Amino acid sequence: MIFFIPVGIAYAQEAAPPPGAALFSSFTLMIILFAIFYFLIIRPQQKKAKEHKEMLSKLTKGDNVITSGGLHGRITSVGEETVTMEISENVRVKVNKEAIVARKPQG
């Protein structure tokens, strides 16, 4: 024999939040999201840009470098905004400093 006993479930009605609570919670959420974006995206990108700028300022004659186009060569002269690099024997090209992405170790 199966007995069916109806059980009424009572739900307490929640009190209405104060008028400024929704605004405060959404503002807090925006601040938390900005902090997450700052520490995961913006800050590392700024650090990498600073290191790249520092590397470009320290370029000297004789450094082996790689350009963003994939050219490997040795710097023969450094100008204010450009660098002349030798990519093969008696083959020299002039590139912008910003095009240099890495400095290879001497060896």
Per-residue pLDDT of the chain (107 residues; tens, 9 = 90+): 565 555 555 555 666 666 666 777 888 899 999 999 999 999 999 999 999 999 999 999 999 999 999 999 999 999 999 999 999 999 999 999 999 999 998 76
* Residue 25: count of CB within 10 angstroms of its CB: 11
Domain ranges of the chain: 22-58, 60-107
Tell me how far apart the alpha carbons of residues 13 and 10 are, in angstroms, rounded to a whole number.
9
- Reduced to 3 states (helix: H, G, I; strand: E, B; else coil), residue 77 is strand
Q: What is residue 82's predicted lDDT score, i.e. its pLDDT?
A: 94
Enclosing H/E stretch for 27: helix 21-37
Give the CATH number of domain 60-107; options: 2.10.260, 2.60.300, 2.30.30, 3.30.70: 2.30.30
Question: Which residue in the block uniquely carries the two structure tokens 């790689």?
Answer: 66
Q: Judge residue 73's burial from the number of C-beta atoms within 10 Å of its C-beta, 0-12 exposed, 13-18 middle, 19 or more buried.
A: buried
